[in-house]
Structure 1
Amino acid sequence: MLESQSNWIFTYNNKDEANMDSLADVNVSPVIKQLLLQRGIDTAEKAKNFLNPSLELLHSTNSFSQIDKAVNRVKQAIDAGESILVYGDYDADGVTSTTVMIEALRESGAMCDYYIPNRFTEGYGPNEEAFREAHRQGFQLIITVDNGIAGINEVAVANELGMDVIITDHHEVQESLPEAYAIIHPKCSDSYPFKELAGVGVAFKFAEHLLGYFPKQFLDLVVIGTIADLVPLQDENRILVHYGLQALTRSERKGIKALKKLCQIEGNVTEEDVGFRIGPRLNAVGRLQDANLAVDLLLTDDPEEAEELANYVQELNTERQKIVADITKEAIEIFESSDAEKRVIIVAKEGWNQGVLGIVASKLVQNYYRPAIVLTSDPETNQAKGSARSIEGFDMFQNCMQHRDLFTHFGGHAQAAGMTLPTENIIELEEKLDRLAQEQLTDADYKPQLLVSGKLSISDIDMSLLETIDQLAPFGMANPKPLFHIEATPSEISQIGATKNHLKMKFVDAGVHMDSIGFGFGEKVPFLAKQTPIEMVGELQVNEWNGIRKPQMMIKDIAVTSWQLFDYRGTKNWQQQLEDNLENHYFVSFQGHNYDRIPVCDKDTVLSLNQTIDALYLLDLPKSLDDIRELVQKVKFKRLIVCFSTKDSDYFRSLPTREEFKWLYQLMLKRKYFDYKVDAPKLAQYKGWKLEKIKFMFQVFYELEFVTRKEGLIVPADQPSKKDLAEAQVYQDRKKWMELEEILIYSSYTQLKTWISEQMNAEIHEEEMVHGL
């Protein structure tokens, strides 16, 4: 048995089958129909729109309240020669939003510049001193992108200085709104149909309204910010990403071409390329220094400058990775040194790089699957700044907003947030969030959830199926790659990688071969017994090697629901396979032997336990097969490990045949005596028998009273009773022991497991157990 690390939520059910008729007119495979229904796409029209994203399905910019007012103000600034400042943000969404807005303003003829606050000295969002500096430099209009909705005080300062502020944002709206000249925000516009645009999506919409046409030239920027900001890839976001990936593939932007070259992206750009290569590199700039560099990279028309900036971005990303690793290690040490059982992780330390704390929080969530807040404290200001990441079921934004008074600044989403608070408030925040988590979360909530879209067999999987599933791409938030459940018996199990920390399994079914890879699952190999069905949940993907393309599964979780047999029979170094933690492991010696460094117990100790045992070790052979029967019938265990030695086995000392017994007895009758010391070696040489065999035959004769001793010689008994050889106890004992060895030592793995399974399912006959038969 091997427990899964996650909760498997099977999203397919009989209801999906019943609703298939609603998609009868959709010309796709049943697998795709099922996946569409799971995504709430239950009509032919919805399916058509989902499978065939069209720019015509984008919503009208007119649905934004105040967008006309905002555009008119920009045009007024252009006509009056006023200077416009685009006030951005330092993540990938923020820098792409800034680039879109700058290019749209320049195309419109505006005098404009951009400013991105420094994460470390100014923090997220509008900054009063930056606004005052903008006024000193002569800016009359500020347009925020990907921020601003929480800048109540800063907008008020701008108003006092005579500057107008237009806010374009997508973050959660708090209790009150800034008194800006105009706010372009989907959640502040009742008539706007889609509320989940990224910051760059809102900037793009504003640019479209300003320019008066659909600006396809910005789609390569929109797709980066949308994917990097982890907004749901539904509705407009799906359309923008679909066309954005095509635009990114063809992009002639010098900065993007330089980035793609560094990331070794060739051919069609995928959502994974953006999410795991391009996005993190753009994010790295603002995490370590001034993010204006990233905007410069996206705006430049100079190939040499683009290459130079891209190389610097790469260096920053490498540095960022090391910093993240170091802080994560320290954060884990701080958390694990605490005695308290915390439902919400809050760790803080002076000197941590504020820019990477969101990534560290994400890694803590991955490690412990509970909400995490990571803060860096400043003793001079007595303030702590940092980021939060959460789990399904715990809305970080709403729960923190219940204690908004503890924060100096706060903003974010359900799963991610940023904050500043007085250092002395950290303990109180921890206590209050912990209490909220206790009220809202169950034990099951502290395990990750895997939404399983369907069940497949190995023989179902081929390249055609993968090409079919690709119709649902691009994948991302709210449209994840489908996960499938497979139950099969691997033909090979191995650890791979330089440190053997990855798992590889091979499967064969009806002539179909498939590999599966589980990164980070290498430690599970000792818990996977051969010839045992394994359940897997994972993504199907294409493995391409030397021009050959074939399906493989990327494992997300594994489980074994049945007991497992591990066979160490005849293995001298089996103790090297022992785990470090032997809690709930029991080592049974039937013969009362002691073993170095192993806590040995007897059978009765295990029988008295009222619990499921993780691992039950059988160290030596029992006196009877009934000892094994009783254990496997009465004791619940996940793993059974047999360690029987094959040394001094009786199995190959076969029972003498009846003809051999008859021949020896007739010899006795003929000779009238047998001098064992003298005659046994001669007989052994003559017949090719072993001395042990001759000795055993005479033991049977003695017990049956066929022979007796007289003056040191073995002689025939006078008028012995007629008895069967099997009546001799020594004969029965030898026969039973040989049967025991045949089953427990010399059987194959499959034979032994089958026999044990049969004993588990057999009824225990009390009479047999009493008499030991």
Structure 2
Amino acid sequence: MLQSKANWKYTSLQEEAVEWEDDAVALSPIVKQLLQQRGITSIEEARQFLSPDIKNLHSPLKIDSIERAAVRVHKAIDNDEKILIYGDYDADGVSSTTVLIKALEELGANCDFYIPNRFTEGYGPNEAAFRAAAENGFTLIITVDTGIASVYEAHVAKELGIDLIITDHHEPQEELPDCFAIIHPKCSEGYPFQELAGVGVAFKFAQSLLGYFPKHLLEFAAIGTIADLVPLVDENRVLAFYGLHALTISQNPGIKALKRVCKVEGNVTEEDVGFLIGPRINAVGRLENADLAVQLLLTDDDEIAQEMAEEINVINDERKKIVNNIFQEAQQIVESSATHDVIIVAKEGWNEGVLGIVASKLVRKYDRPAIVLTIKPELNTVKGSARSIPAFDFFKNGMRIRELFTHFGGHAQAAGMTFPLDNLPLVQEKLDTFIREELTESDFKQVIEISAQLKVEEIDEELVQEIDRLAPFGMKNPKPVFELKEAPADARKIGSAKNHLKLLFKKNDQTLDSIGFGMGELYEHISPSAVLSLVGELGINEWNGHRKAQFLIEDMKIDEWQLFDYRGKKNRNVHLDTNNAFVITTSSEPVYADVEQINYDTSIHALEEKQTLYIYDLPANLAQLKAIIKQTKPVNIVACYHIEDSAYLSAFPSREEFVWFYALVRKRKVLDLKTELQTIMNHKGWSKDRIIFISNVFFELGFVKIENGVIELETNPEKKDLSDSKLYQERLNRADIEKQLYYSNYEELKMWMESCMDYLNIPEEEVVNGL
């Protein structure tokens, strides 16, 4: 048995059944099921989802205040007022800034952009920046991807005589800023879709300003939409779908240079944006000023674009090193501190630009929400980022203690905050209390949503290509994860470090390769013929011109009990489980330093249940081992015993041989083995041990006396059968134990072990079929 690392959750179908009778939608049952899981309950909805159409985007005019804001911008352009685009330093903010600058420049506006420095100014609008803008003659400020929480800064803008237009998508808080206009889907009851990214809102505003649909801005909309992890449904799906195509054919010098340094070729996918392009744009704002990233997207010069892209690539490499160093330090703090349900780590000097990434890595490692903070001793404050687990809404719970934070904002799974260092213990206490009130222990495990169960014979290249029609994948349209339940025909560790797991499945003349990257340690946890339950994604493996479907493992479990057969192996140092295990041994020397050790004389009633039982030495009788198995109820048994002198392989003397030897003693009356042992061995072809064993059985039965190797016949011995000899019975019993536990084949041994496991409630017919 093997536990999964994550909780497996099976996606339920919509209650409303779908009639898939229209030949115009020729889909496999699996893809139809995936569509139903996404709430698609009609043929027309399926068509729209599988073939996104720009015509299905909502009118920008449905967003409150957008017309008022557009009129104000056009007035500023007509009057040659200076317009400042105030952005954010992440990929969404950078792409949002780019979209509006390009739109305004197209309209002939006198405009510029400003992105605050993460380290000296922090997140969002700030008073100093607004006052500097006023001094530089700006009379209109438009925020993108920020500003919805800037109540004080809006007041400052009004005081300075600056009209402030806020475009944002973050969660509105209790008080909204008092400004010229707020363009925010969640502040617009009449707008049909409230999950746009910051760049999606900026794109809508650009469309309103330009008076037409700006296809040339779609590539930037795709970057922010995908990188900011907003739900890729409805309008976001359309923007991402067409934006990825735009990125593929882009002639923008910055995009082309960025693709080159990312080594992105061919069709650009959501994974290219999410794992290659987006992180590089984010890296600039994490370590330096994000202006460089905006300038890259705005430049018309190919040579300059290439230089900037290479500089950004270097910054991203540096970001990776910093993240790794902080993560190592954070782990040390976690593992040397008291255990908490919400991880909070803080240290002076940590780069605040990468703390969100570190928090994400801590969540994945410890299955706990994590806050990573940098300490600013000169201000006696801490500043940082939080990442959460699916079951815990960090934004909601953070708002419950809003008074403890100087600044706080974000989403359910991610948040940023600043607060006095003195408040840290209370923040820890409150969040620990909240999470204990809300969650059970199982809620802390990561969750894997499983879309469907597949069979080996169902998986082929055609199915993978059909599933890809559901792309681009993202939040609320996740890449489907499937469960595969089958015994592998072959399992091995691969890679130079042997840290990857490769499985081969065969069914009805069809084969399927399955790969688990970084899962090589699970190889030792797979017993022969074990039925594995795997969850993962489908993909295509291309090698040497050949394409073949493959299964990419994310998690694995084994529901049945397992027998691991290491009998007779020279290296018996097998570690499958050390925290919940017993080792049975007759030796007083420790077998494993970290596994509790028992022997066959240990009181049965003193033994507790264990997951794993290592059998290091054979018992004196089968009943001893059977009793231990029944008491400890293991679900994994490791047979790692060996035999030095085998009773089973040493041929047992027959009754006729006992008769011949006794007749010899009776004839001689006295038999000196010191002088005649070799003669008997040569004559009968017996071993020395065989002769000594026969002699000792007769001695135990009282048929002879033995002294100094001299056997003398007893006169008038009591009549007894050979089976009355304890030595004889022990030898028979030992041979039987060896035959059952050592010389049996794997299936025979497993069947015997299973006969001891009434606690598993295995139906008898299942045992038989399994053999």
Same structural fold, with TM-score higher than 0.5 when normalized by the shorter chain: yes
**Residues 195 and 231 of structure 2 are in contact (CA less than 8 Å); yes or no, is this contact kept in structure 1?**
yes
Please say which of residues 373-382 and 2-11 is displaced more in the overlay: 373-382
1:569-580 mapped onto 2 (5 Å cutoff): 569-575=567-573, 577-578=574-575
* Partner in structure 1 of residue 143 of structure 2: 144
* Partner in structure 1 of residue 541 of structure 2: 543
* Partner in structure 2 of residue 251 of structure 1: 250
Give the drift of 1:664: 5.8
1:119-138 mapped onto 2 (5 Å cutoff): 119-138=118-137
* Partner in structure 1 of residue 599 of structure 2: 602
* Partner in structure 2 of residue 567 of structure 1: 565
* Partner in structure 2 of residue 512 of structure 1: 510
Q: Secondary structure at the match of 2:199?
A: helix
**Equivalent in 549, 552, 559 of residue 554 of structure 1:** 552
Q: Write the distance in 1 (CA, Å) between the matches of 2:685 and 2:346.
A: 82
Give the drift of 1:445: 1.6
Give the drift of 1:702: 6.5
1:196-207 mapped onto 2 (5 Å cutoff): 196-207=195-206
Q: Secondary structure at the match of 1:645?
A: coil
Give the drift of 1:150: 1.4
Give the drift of 1:37: 2.0
Q: Secondary structure at the match of 1:556?
A: strand
1:431-450 mapped onto 2 (5 Å cutoff): 431-450=429-448
Label 1:453 to 1:708 Cα distance change in 2 as closer, same or farther (>3 A).
Answer: same
Q: Write the distance in 1 (CA, Å) between the matches of 2:78 and 2:427.
A: 51
Q: Write the distance in 2 (CA, Å) between the matches of 1:230 and 1:391.
A: 15
1:541-690 mapped onto 2 (5 Å cutoff): 541-575=539-573, 577-578=574-575, 582-589=578-585, 591=586, 593-595=588-590, 600-605=597-602, 607-609=604-606, 611-657=608-654, 676-690=673-687
**Residues 18 and 41 of structure 2 are in contact (CA less than 8 Å); yes or no, is this contact kept in structure 1?**
no
Q: Write the distance in 1 (CA, Å) between the matches of 2:628 and 2:487.
A: 27
Please say which of residues 220-229 and 22-31 is displaced more in the overlay: 22-31
Give the drift of 1:662: 6.2
2:734 corresponds to 1:737:
yes
Q: How many residues align?
A: 756
Q: Write the distance in 2 (CA, Å) between the matches of 1:383 and 1:519.
A: 41
* Partner in structure 2 of residue 163 of structure 1: 162
1:83-482 mapped onto 2 (5 Å cutoff): 83-339=82-338, 341-482=339-480
Q: Deviations over 1:535-562 (max 9, x none)?
A: 2222222222222222222222222233
Q: Deviations over 1:97-139 (max 9, x none)?
A: 1111111111112121111111111111111111111111112
Q: Write the distance in 1 (CA, Å) between the matches of 2:634 and 2:606.
A: 11
Q: Deviations over 1:639-676 (max 9, x none)?
A: 32223222111222122445655666777788898664
Give the drift of 1:763: 13
Q: Deviations over 1:417-455 (max 9, x none)?
A: 222222222222222222222222222221111111122
Give the drift of 1:508: 3.0
Look up the equivalent residue of 1:81 and give its one-letter code. Answer: D
Q: Write the distance in 1 (CA, Å) between the matches of 2:607 and 2:21.
A: 55
Q: Secondary structure at the match of 1:97?
A: helix
Q: Write the distance in 2 (CA, Å) between the matches of 1:274 and 1:72.
A: 34
Q: Write the distance in 2 (CA, Å) between the matches of 1:404 and 1:258.
A: 43
Please say which of residues 122-131 and 292-301 is displaced more in the overlay: 122-131
Label 1:630 to 1:383 Cα distance change in 2 as closer, same or farther (>3 A).
Answer: closer
Look up the equivalent residue of 1:284 and give its one-letter code. Answer: A
Label 1:697 to 1:336 Cα distance change in 2 as closer, same or farther (>3 A).
Answer: closer
Give the drift of 1:373: 1.7
Label 1:724 to 1:297 Cα distance change in 2 as closer, same or farther (>3 A).
Answer: same
* Partner in structure 2 of residue 528 of structure 1: 526
* Partner in structure 2 of residue 7 of structure 1: 7
Look up the equivalent residue of 1:468 and give its one-letter code. Answer: E
Q: Deviations over 1:666-697 (max 9, x none)?
A: 77788898664444422322343323334444
Label 1:595 to 1:447 Cα distance change in 2 as closer, same or farther (>3 A).
Answer: closer
Unaligned runs of 5+ residues in structure 2 are 762-771
Please say which of residues 619-628 and 38-47 is displaced more in the overlay: 38-47
**Residues 586 and 606 of structure 1 are in contact (CA less than 8 Å); yes or no, is this contact kept in structure 2?**
no
Q: Write the distance in 1 (CA, Å) between the matches of 2:705 and 2:424.
A: 93
Look up the equivalent residue of 1:3 and give its one-letter code. Answer: Q
Q: Secondary structure at the match of 1:173?
A: coil
Q: Write the distance in 2 (CA, Å) between the matches of 1:718 and 1:83.
A: 128
Q: TM-score, length-normalised on structure 1?
A: 0.91
Q: Write the distance in 2 (CA, Å) between the matches of 1:187 and 1:738.
A: 79
Label 1:288 to 1:709 Cα distance change in 2 as closer, same or farther (>3 A).
Answer: closer
Q: Write the distance in 2 (CA, Å) between the matches of 1:324 and 1:763.
A: 46
Q: Secondary structure at the match of 2:451?
A: strand
Q: Write the distance in 1 (CA, Å) between the matches of 2:425 and 2:438.
A: 20
Q: Deviations over 1:197-218 (max 9, x none)?
A: 0001111111111111111111
Q: Deviations over 1:338-374 (max 9, x none)?
A: 22x3222222222211111111111121122222222
Q: Write the distance in 1 (CA, Å) between the matches of 2:430 and 2:711.
A: 93
Please say which of residues 435-444 and 49-58 is displaced more in the overlay: 435-444
RMSD: 2.9
Q: Deviations over 1:512-538 (max 9, x none)?
A: 333333333333344333332222222
Q: Deviations over 1:13-68 (max 9, x none)?
A: xx66x755444545311111222222222233322221221111111112112111
**Residues 607 and 631 of structure 2 are in contact (CA less than 8 Å); yes or no, is this contact kept in structure 1?**
no
Q: Secondary structure at the match of 1:3?
A: coil
Q: Deviations over 1:72-99 (max 9, x none)?
A: 1111111111121111111000000111
**Residues 704 and 711 of structure 2 are in contact (CA less than 8 Å); yes or no, is this contact kept in structure 1?**
no
Look up the equivalent residue of 1:266 and give its one-letter code. Answer: E
Label 1:304 to 1:436 Cα distance change in 2 as closer, same or farther (>3 A).
Answer: same
Identity of aligned residues (%): 52
Label 1:698 to 1:242 Cα distance change in 2 as closer, same or farther (>3 A).
Answer: same
Label 1:686 to 1:368 Cα distance change in 2 as closer, same or farther (>3 A).
Answer: same
Look up the equivalent residue of 1:744 and give its one-letter code. Answer: L
Q: Write the distance in 2 (CA, Å) between the matches of 1:128 and 1:606.
A: 75
Q: Secondary structure at the match of 1:466?
A: helix
Please say which of residues 91-100 and 410-419 is displaced more in the overlay: 410-419
Q: Write the distance in 2 (CA, Å) between the matches of 1:64 and 1:762.
A: 63
Label 1:426 to 1:676 Cα distance change in 2 as closer, same or farther (>3 A).
Answer: closer
Please say which of residues 34-43 and 597-606 is displaced more in the overlay: 597-606
Label 1:582 to 1:64 Cα distance change in 2 as closer, same or farther (>3 A).
Answer: closer
Q: TM-score, length-normalised on structure 2?
A: 0.91
Please say which of residues 376-385 and 695-704 is displaced more in the overlay: 695-704
Please say which of residues 193-202 and 689-698 is displaced more in the overlay: 689-698
Look up the equivalent residue of 1:634 and give its one-letter code. Answer: Q
Give the drift of 1:153: 1.7
Give the drift of 1:705: 8.0
Q: Write the distance in 2 (CA, Å) between the matches of 1:597 and 1:202.
A: 61
Look up the equivalent residue of 1:7 and give its one-letter code. Answer: N
Give the drift of 1:323: 0.8
Q: Write the distance in 1 (CA, Å) between the matches of 2:505 and 2:748.
A: 22
Q: Secondary structure at the match of 2:331?
A: helix
**Residues 100 and 203 of structure 1 are in contact (CA less than 8 Å); yes or no, is this contact kept in structure 2?**
yes
Give the drift of 1:277: 0.3
Give the drift of 1:730: 4.4
Look up the equivalent residue of 2:146 and give its one-letter code. Answer: N
* Partner in structure 1 of residue 688 of structure 2: 691
Q: Write the distance in 1 (CA, Å) between the matches of 2:618 and 2:424.
A: 60
Label 1:682 to 1:716 Cα distance change in 2 as closer, same or farther (>3 A).
Answer: farther
Q: Deviations over 1:233-263 (max 9, x none)?
A: 1111111111111111111111111111111
